[in-house]
Amino acid sequence: MLKAIDPMTSKEVDEESFQTFQTALRGDLITPADPRYDEARTIYNAMIDKRPSLIARCENEADVIAAINFARHNDLPLAIRGGGHNGAGLALVDDGVVIDLSPMKGIRVDPEARTVRVEGGCTWGEVDLATHEHDLAVPSGIISTTGVGGLTLGGGHGYLTRKYGLTIDNLLAVDIVLADGRLLTASADENEDLFWAVRGGGGNFGIVTSFLFQAQPVSTVYGGPIIWPIDQADEIMRWYRDFITDAPEDLYGWFGFHRVPTGSPLPEHLHGHHGCVIVWCYTGSLEKAEEVFAPIRRLGTPVLDMAGPLPFPALQSMFDQIYYPPGLQWYWKADFVKELGDEAIELHKKFGSDLPTELCTMHLYPINGAVHNVGRADTAFSYRDMTWSCVIVGVDRDPANAGMISRWAKEYWSALHPHTAGGGYVNFMMEEGQDRIRATYRDNYQRLVAVKQKYDPDNLFHVNQNIRPSV
């Protein structure tokens, strides 16, 4: 017997399996008829408007297993939702099942072992608050509302990267539900091939229900933004290029072009200000911080210097108010960069001095320092020999500007692309096709295909930057 689950598409599933699934699921099962449906299918990027047939809000591993088995049995496409921040909207799928992990919020810190176990639905802000209680932190990104799941599985870079590596370099183990419904642990000594693949290979291999991380001794850091006017961007960018390649590993700083948005938490006289920024995070001794920042402070004439001591979670959430809540139109393109030549700087200046909206931006995130201590074949994340992960982000609140910001990001990226390493960070990609995915993984790609073939030969997990199985 078949049962209709979506009146819009007349999508039908096997009734018996639906009953079994509904009975087994501890969390909520949301159909298009449910008044919560639109809220449940809202993700960070408001440009994405997908209509799943079912959204299964999973509360535990058993729910995840039941949802995978149901989707597989009914041949329904399946998407995995962690924090819902993926720019390409890969947390959702049309006419399929969304396995929404957001109710899975367990976090357990072991201060003795300096580890933290995190369930698949957590955001980084939630983890930061739990670890900060113990003067610890796990390297993640630069915005606290991003999901642990997607960020980690793609690699993860942010404020602690030069000192402690990528997020995956601090990952000790995962519990993962496979396409056939089996639950496995993958770590350095168990299912090593799978552990290699999930460290950079995204959600291709299964659903991670819990992550075990090594936490690092980070509590109060010295950091924050220093902003210069746009006419000093040339001097600042050239200085930054040389400085960050040799800077001590406990000093991190990402470079960006910006227009300070109206209503942002930055001082009002700067609203609308067009400039460039370096956002710093120094994890060395606080007594030495002023000395470390002295040469930085001699640069140009900053219009704002907010660098100072602050708790790590405060730095992590400093820009949440600008780039949150969701509802922004978002289109981004990325590439890894080894060297920032003079020609590339000229192009950056051209585009960076003419940002089309207040929220459009370009960021250069350093991925040198400790990232280079791990070999490029040691995890699936291939571009370890780079200096920066560059992202160009078209952002605006008005849906009418979606086309304009996308075109701007593509033009900026196309001009810069010949000056880059050729592949981009998988977590900063839209749906850009197989060639771009191969370019991201370079010589790790074939090994990823082999692991995919072993653990997901029918490509059940294909709503992602997809590694296709070989057969």
Ligand X SMILES: Cc1cc2nc3c(=O)[nH]c(=O)nc-3n(C[C@H](O)[C@H](O)[C@H](O)COP(=O)(O)OP(=O)(O)OC[C@H]3O[C@@H](n4cnc5c(N)ncnc54)[C@H](O)[C@@H]3O)c2cc1C
For residues 222 and 339, give the distance between their C-alpha atoms in angstroms, rounded to a whole number. Answer: 27
Do the Cβ atoms of 166 and 154 come closer than 8 Å?
no
Least separation in angstroms between residue 1's CB and ligand X is: 32
Task: Considering only residues 296 through 335, tell me which ones interact with ligand X, judged by CB under 6 A.
Answer: 323
Cα–Cα distance list, 252 to 70, 138, 157, 166 (Å): 45, 15, 11, 13
- 420 contributes a contact to ligand X by CB under 6 A: no
Rule CB under 6 A: choose which of 52, 96, 147, 224 binds ligand X: 147
Q: Rg of the chain's alpha carbons, rounded to an integer? A: 22
What is the x/- site pattern for ligand X, positions 107-146, by CB under 6 A? -------------x--------------------xxx--x
- 430 contributes a contact to ligand X by CB under 6 A: no
Least separation in angstroms between residue 290's CB and ligand X is: 27
Least separation in angstroms between residue 353's CB and ligand X is: 23
Rule CB under 6 A: choose which of 27, 52, 149, 223 binds ligand X: 149
For residues 164 and 310, give the distance between their C-alpha atoms in angstroms, rounded to a whole number. Answer: 19
Rule CB under 6 A: choose which of 13, 71, 151, 449 binds ligand X: 151
Least separation in angstroms between residue 291's CB and ligand X is: 28
The one-letter amino acid code at 356 reads P
For residues 420 and 231, give the distance between their C-alpha atoms in angstroms, rounded to a whole number. Answer: 25
What is the x/- site pattern for ligand X, positions 184-223, by CB under 6 A? ------------------xx---xx---------------
Cβ proximity to ligand X, 18 vs 316, nearer residue: 316
Do the Cβ atoms of 222 and 104 come closer than 8 Å?
no
The one-letter amino acid code at 100 reads D
Cβ proximity to ligand X, 18 vs 48, nearer residue: 48
Beta strand pairing call for 54-57 and 97-100: parallel
Least separation in angstroms between residue 269's CB and ligand X is: 26
Instruction: With CB under 6 A as the rule, give the number of residues binding ligand X.
Output: 35
- 41 contributes a contact to ligand X by CB under 6 A: no
Kindly tell me the burial class for residue 320, based on how many C-beta atoms sit within 10 Å of its own C-beta (0-12, 13-18, 19 or more): middle
- 82 contributes a contact to ligand X by CB under 6 A: yes
Do the Cβ atoms of 147 and 127 come closer than 8 Å?
no
Do the Cβ atoms of 52 and 40 come closer than 8 Å?
no
Q: Which among 84-92, 261-269, 293-301, 414-422 is the span making contact with ligand X, rule CB under 6 A?
A: 84-92
